[in-house]
Amino acid sequence: MSQYGCTIPRRGRELIAKILAAKIPLKISRIMMGQGVCPDEVFPGDLEDLVEPVAAGTSNEPTYDGDTVHMTVEYRSDLNGGLDHGFWIREFGVFAQDEDGSEVMLYYGVLGDYPQWVSAYSTTGLDVRRYPISITIGEGAEVIIDYSPEAFMTAEDVGAYCTSVMLPAFLVQAQAQIDAHNTDPQAHPAIKADFNAMDARMSLMELRYNTEVSGNPFTATFEDLSKLRIEGVWNAAQKRVEF
């Protein structure tokens, strides 16, 4: 029976220890898919490459959870110009760049007795295979990828991204625009005009009923300036004279 599961090979563990000590980012350089079978007498942790590499894969952007990095490794039949022949995915590897520029297999996964067939590229549809992985690299370590993250997003991915990333950013931006609008003296001109008109009427009522009048009372408004001579500036919108 073939082995099944995943491991961080010996050189991958050494690289993680090195980048943690040097406090430098871990640069993931490529994803590879293969159809080889790790022999039973070989410990997968001693491998430095796939047994039989076939084609390059891709992934999404890594996400962090404490000292662990999560990402989804993906292979699609349209990658790299399109797969011209089908093959069984039996293994895959995640490779990272060492300080001297060489590559180290950081993560090795084997599908054992459950390989997955990938069909050749066709314009009628894509063949997609996805494998979520987690790598513990240490608290505060940074991971960057040295290739274009071209993994498709599922409906669940889109929902999670919208909830965790887009919604908070939207709420912050929306609140900033609301605050700017509320402090803008030119905002809500119609509401302010109605408020000022109501305030003027209330002031007039207070003047009428709270003022002792011993002569002949009268009321003057400034809706228009016909038959009036004034000094100051006529505010036609608010029906008043300003000095």
Q: Could you tell me if residue 137 is inside a domain?
A: yes
Residue 24 or residue 221, greater confidence: 24
Residues 77, 122: contact at Cβ < 8 Å?
yes
26 and 143 both lie in a single domain: yes
Question: Which tokens belong to 94?
Answer: 């995640």
> In terms of domains, do 142 and 161 share one?
no
Determine, yes or no, domain membership for 208: no
Residue 213 belongs to some domain of the structure: no
Query: Which tokens belong to 101?
Result: 């520029």
For tokens 């011209």, the residue is 84
Classify residue 239: in a domain, yes or no: no
Residue 174, H or E segment: helix 167-183
User: Is 142 in the same domain as 163?
Assistant: no
Question: 101 and 48, same structural domain?
Answer: yes
Q: What is the Cα 118 distance to its own chain's centre?
A: 30
- For residue 187, the enclosing domain spans 153-201
Which pLDDT score is estimated for 220? 66
According to the model, what pLDDT value does residue 146 have? 63
pLDDT band, very low/low/confident/very high, at 187 (cuts 50, 70, 90): confident
Alpha-carbon distances of 61 from 64, 166, 209, rounded to whole Å? 10, 16, 72
User: Across the strands, what pairs with 225?
Assistant: none
- What is the secondary structure of 26-77 as a DSSP string? EEEEEEEEE-----TTS-GGG-SS-SSEEEE-EE---EEETTEEEEEEEEET
pLDDT of residue 148: 60
pTM (whole model) above 0.75: no
Tokens of 28: 């993931």
- Is the same domain home to 190 and 128? no
Say if 231 falls within a structural domain. no
Whether 18 and 136 share a structural domain: yes
Q: What are the φ and ψ backbone dihedral angles of 64, each rounded to 5 degrees?
A: -115, 145
Tens-digit pLDDT profile for residues 59-116: 888 887 777 888 899 998 888 888 888 999 999 999 999 988 899 999 999 988 889 9
**77 and 118 together in one domain:** yes
- In a shared domain, residues 147 and 161: no
- Examine the domain organization and report whether 47 and 114 are in the same domain: yes
Same domain, 23 and 132: yes
Given a contact cutoff of 8 angstroms between Cβ atoms, the answer to whether 32 and 92 are in contact is yes
Domain boundary among 110, 133, 151: 151
Residue 173 lies in a domain: yes
Running DSSP on this structure, what letter comes out for residue 100?
Answer: T
Classify residue 243: in a domain, yes or no.
no
Helix (H, G, I), strand (E, B) or coil at 79: helix
The answer to the question of residue 146 being in a domain is: yes
What is the number of domains present in the chain?
A: 2
Helix locations, 28-151, DSSP H: none
Whether the per-residue pLDDT at 150 is higher than 60: the answer is no
Alpha carbon 160 to chain centroid distance? 9
Residues 48 and 167 in one domain: no
**pLDDT bucket at 216, cuts 50 / 70 / 90:** low
What is the residue type of 68? Answer: T
- 124 and 32 in one domain? yes
